[in-house]
Amino acid sequence: MAAPEYVPTSSTHQPRSYASPPRRPDEWRADRPGEVVGDDQPREEGRRGAQGPDQGYAYKLAHLFEDKVHLQEAEHLHDAVVGAVAVALKRSSLFGRAPVVYDLQVAFTIWGFLDASPAAELVVARRNLFQGVEQPHHYDRVRAIVDVVPEQSLRLSPADAEAAHAQDWRSLLAL
């Protein structure tokens, strides 16, 4: 490490430089109990959610939809955002990437939040599912929202999801 000129140094001091650590002769093996290597199979043990990179970014993107979301009586924006973000995160993890704005667009479209006049039956269904999910202790209810949306609906493009919602919203959900 460099030192100012006024710091006294010993004339016998030999400065160190980088040296690589000693080479290990054996190959590395995942032999500890907690290590999971080469397990590409999806796990169906419980409801752990959909893992993916940079998931918190979905909440930043959700602010772009605050003025586009159409809420009905007894619906709250924060509940709609939490449910839609969870659906968007499942969609982004299906594609193995971080969330993008289109994931949220598909999620809000599937649940009819971007429709100015959604079907009354859909409003009743989402009101029952989304009520109070902004509270962190309602994880099971958020998972229920996500589980109602089948994978084939999540794989649609935003335009296809909008067309399917306009034609028959029931086809996008497994209610």
Domains in the chain: boundaries: 57-172
Task: Give the mean pLDDT of 11-31.
Answer: 74
Do 146 and 85 touch, CB atoms closer than 8 A?
Answer: no
Q: Residue 11 — very low, low, confident or very high, per pLDDT cuts 50/70/90?
A: confident
CB 48 within 8 A of CB 104: no
Which whole number is the average pLDDT over 70-81?
95
Is the pLDDT score of 39 beyond 70? no
